[in-house]
Homo-oligomer: A and B are copies of this chain.
Amino acid sequence: MSSAQRLPTMADVAERAGVSPSTVSRALRGLPSISSEVRARVEEAARELNFAVSRQAASLVTGKTGVVAALVPTLNSWFHGSALSSLGPLVRAAGMELSVYLTPDMAERTAFFERLPARRNADALVVFGFDLTDEETVRLDDLGMPVIYVSQHAEGRPSVYVDDVEGAWKATRYLLNLGHRRIAFAPTVGTNGFCFSSRERLLGYRQALTEADIPLDDGLVVTMAFEDRRNIEEGVGKLLSLREPPTAVFAEMDELAIAIIHFLRRARVRVPEQISVIGFDDHQIAQWTDLSTVAQSPSDMGRLAGELALELIHDSGADRKRHLVLPTHLIPRSTTAPPAAPQRDEEDR
């Protein structure tokens, strides 16, 4: 509605309060060296004029932008959405702004690392869930600001992540404890070239099986493409048509687990009676559908990364190599159960 009328400046406030601009500046920033009487007068004048400090002007002299930047491949995902949802308010509470850089595809990603648009426009960068090349990591080093890595280990640089190997190990171990011996693993890949933590989770899965003296069977590892219904359907078909089908499936992420359950049930396979399914994430929908899963907390990661960022911004002597490894928790719900007592013969009974 209102058009480009000139916004009030500190000088306006100063005049109205009958003091100098520097006094206004000090009063508004809550510096101690201001008499409470003057402070009150300044604050009132500011309110009356609807005055807001120009961050641009302030940062020009302080050298701080008052901005925390976040780099995410997409926001259209439970993980990143949750992480930023906790990072945002934290940044706000510190009186700073949250700036978001999205790189949904390879072109955007390349452009980001080429131009580094965040340079000079933020005081810290939080990088979420990328699988960065060494080259990219090095590039970020001369961004001139602290860079915090979330959901990935960055050697010698501040990082926050969960132990994916252990998480996958727990899921697999749990299924073994229930009595399962034929356990499938369904890793997933994104269409946009971004990968999740398949590698680590596969490792944990294998480790648990090996410890239990169960031979690895590559036929039980079936990648199912994220975002492709047909592909998931076929993957499920592949598992069901094995000579010896699995009695349990560990899906790399909850959303995939939900889809797998859907196709199993459509094929008249009962979950968990005939096949158990467990996911990874503890996505909200896992609660709603009572899905067994391994919980990780992206919101904790976002929060910790934010705190780390603020600390690195304000205390240049802070430890710049800190790694925070968060725990995962097994959450057994109703999509897992012991295998049916007799090794079932396919459709029979």
Q: Which residues from chain A sit less than 8 Å from chain B, CB to CB?
A: 1-5, 7, 50, 52-57, 59-60, 65, 67, 74-78, 80-82, 84-85, 88-89, 92, 97-102, 104, 108, 115-117, 119-121, 141-144, 156-157, 227, 229, 232, 255-256, 258-259, 262, 265-266, 284-285, 287-290, 299, 316, 320, 334
* Docked pose: A54 CA to B287 CA in angstroms: 46
Q: When the two chains form their complex, are residues B144 and A2 in contact, meaning their CB atoms are under 8 A apart?
A: yes
Q: Which of A53, A65, A102 has the most CB of B within 10 A?
A: A102
Q: When the two chains form their complex, are residues A89 and B102 in contact, meaning their CB atoms are under 8 A apart?
A: yes
Q: When the two chains form their complex, are residues B142 and A289 in contact, meaning their CB atoms are under 8 A apart?
A: no
Q: When the two chains form their complex, are residues A285 and B255 in contact, meaning their CB atoms are under 8 A apart?
A: yes
* Known contacts A57-B60, A75-B84, A81-B77; A285/B259 CB under 8 A: yes
* Docked pose: A56 CA to B53 CA in angstroms: 13
Question: When the two chains form the complex, which single residue of B85, B99, B232 contacts A102, counting CB atoms closer than 8 Å?
Answer: B85
* Known contacts A75-B88, A255-B288, A259-B285; A144/B104 CB under 8 A: no
Give, as a whole number of angstroms, the nearest-CB distance from A80 to chain B: 8
Q: When the two chains form their complex, are residues B285 and A285 in contact, meaning their CB atoms are under 8 A apart?
A: yes
Give, as a whole number of angstroms, the nearest-CB distance from A140 to chain B: 9
* A4 partner residues in chain B, CB cutoff 8 A: 144, 316
Q: When the two chains form their complex, are residues A120 and B60 in contact, meaning their CB atoms are under 8 A apart?
A: no
Question: When the two chains form the complex, which single residue of B53, B120, B262, B290 contacts A120, counting CB atoms closer than 8 Å?
Answer: B53
Q: Which of A2, A75, A99, A290 has the most CB of B within 10 A?
A: A75
Q: When the two chains form their complex, are residues B81 and A75 in contact, meaning their CB atoms are under 8 A apart?
A: yes
Give, as a whole number of angstroms, the nearest-CB distance from A158 to chain B: 10
What are 6 sample pairs from A and B whose C-beta atoms fall under 8 A apart? A1-B142, A2-B143, A3-B316, A84-B102, A88-B100, A262-B288
